[in-house]
Amino acid sequence: MRIDEDACYRALETRDRRFDGRFFTGVRSTGIYCRPICPARTPRRERCVFFPSAAAAQEAGYRPCLRCRPEASPGTPAWLGTSALVSRALRLIAEGALDDADAPALAARLGVGERHLRRLFLRHVGASPLAVAQTRRLLFAKKLLDETALSITEVALSSGFSSVRRFNDAIRAAYERSPRELRKAVSKRGGGGAGGAPDIALRLPFRPPLDWGALAGFLGARAIPGVESAEPGAYRRTVRVAGGHGVVEVRPEAGEPYLLARLRLPGTEGLIHCAERLRRLFDLGADPDAIAAHLGADPRLAPRVLAMPGVRVPGAWDGFELAVRAILGQQVSVRAATQLAGRLVERHGEPLAVRGGLPEGAEGLRFVFPTPEALAAADLTDLGLPRARAATITALAARVASGEVALDASRGLEETVRALCEVPGVGAWTAHYIAMRALREPDAFPATDLGLRRALGGVSGADLAAMAEAWRPWRAYAAVLLWTADAQGARPVETEVSDGSLAG
């Protein structure tokens, strides 16, 4: 992608935090690349070369800086490039699409050729898909060396490397030091986690501001009893990872540009995927300044943008769980849907079994949400649901279990909505809601939603859809702003009022 190098250098000179993660600076004389906020002395202009991503700097032969730690960057916004296909590919890579597969397999999932995908990556990201995946693993491994007391073997497997030998080779190639030497340097600076702790603590950086209160309020109102809980100080939930059960807790840190996650897991393998799921859950890759500038230009949204700086779209730990929760929310209030979800996990969820017992504050967590296979085979008629809605959940579970419906980023928004609407009982509201929260589609927008229409004075669905054209490509963020405003003035409702798929 094209970069305004003069603007980048001015941001580098002032160490402007607003540009952190938007570009990286390679220093020709040292062979090191840095974040714009690096505390080191600013190099002369002629010694600097600028890259749109850490992967591009790595592929150009530059090493990560040990002072500003590129692995601690809030990340490059998903819309930094102009290609929706690249954004979807980046989400799949973040979910581990290249951990056990190759670039042709990734391209096939996206429905394009490998050469075309590589050309798009070089144009928009500055690096190939494989380089992006390798840099992701490498920087996460460095993060674990700095922030935890995991063994070298655990760090290697937790970061997605297939062997300790490959991990050691990658670290030496990138840092010109061994993993043990990097960890010793951190210990001398007073960093690193405490040994013997049952939990793993990780910092999840974001680009400020972040409205934690709005996030916790939204998630708390929709928390599935026994599976998750949210309060002003913390969000907790049960998870299924590494062949067992675990519990995660996320808290805001006052005045700090990161959330603190504590994970009690059955093992460390796949920890990189847990961290990415939490980033998606709290939408930590968002660029709040860009979103606010765009949505704030509309006089109908401007007061809400000012009142809610740092708005995020609450995501989901698991796409299937969110999809079932969305179906339960059709034509009923948020509270009623939450009660139905609690009844579902009470009868069909897996009893929680956590190695080392439940952490403090998680006493109310008792179940892990059922798998698609379990719900596809379950009798859901005793939950108090209309038979048609129970059949919809069964049908969705069967299609997800068989792979017919993919709740990931392999399809674009329109194709995803079309595939979901082919499930009997799923209409446009449900499909857009799932795409918005589970699949991280920033432009998804359930235009028939009663709460959205009410927040704008009771406009029709058609009028709302027409208004929302000006809010692209961040209509999902506009929806959150309007839902929050509506919840403050009336009972929050999310309802599929105009699909006609579940009438009565």
Residues forming beta bridges with residue 261, ordered by sequence position = 202, 250
What string of H, E and C letters represents the secondary structure of 451-462? HHHHHCCCCCHH
Q: How far is residue 99's CA from residue 114's CA, in Å, rounded to a whole number?
A: 17
Do the beta carbons of residue 77 and residue 285 sit within 8 Å? yes
- C-alpha 424/C-alpha 502 separation (Å) is 9
Give how far Cα 348 sits from Cα of 107, 133, 186, 246, 375, Å: 37, 37, 46, 18, 7
Of 20, 318, 449, 486, the active-site residue reads 449
CB 60 within 8 Å of CB 373: no
Is residue 449 annotated as part of the catalytic site, yes or no? yes
Task: Say if strands 234-241 and 228-231 run parallel, antiparallel, or are unpaired.
Answer: antiparallel
> Annotated catalytic residue: which of 8, 34, 48, 65?
34
Is 283 in the active site?
no
Nearest-angstrom CA–CA distance, 479 and 432: 11
Cα 368 to Cα 357: distance, rounded to the nearest angstrom? 15
CA max distance for the chain = 71
Query: Which residue, chain included where needed, has tokens 């009690």?
Result: 264
Q: How far apart are CA 35 and CA 205, in angstroms?
A: 14
DSSP for 197-219 reads: -SSEEEEEE--S---HHHHHHHH
State the number of CA atoms in the 13 A half-sphere of 471 facing the CB: 28
- Integer Cα distance of 342 and 223 in angstroms: 9
Q: Return the active site residues.
A: 34, 449
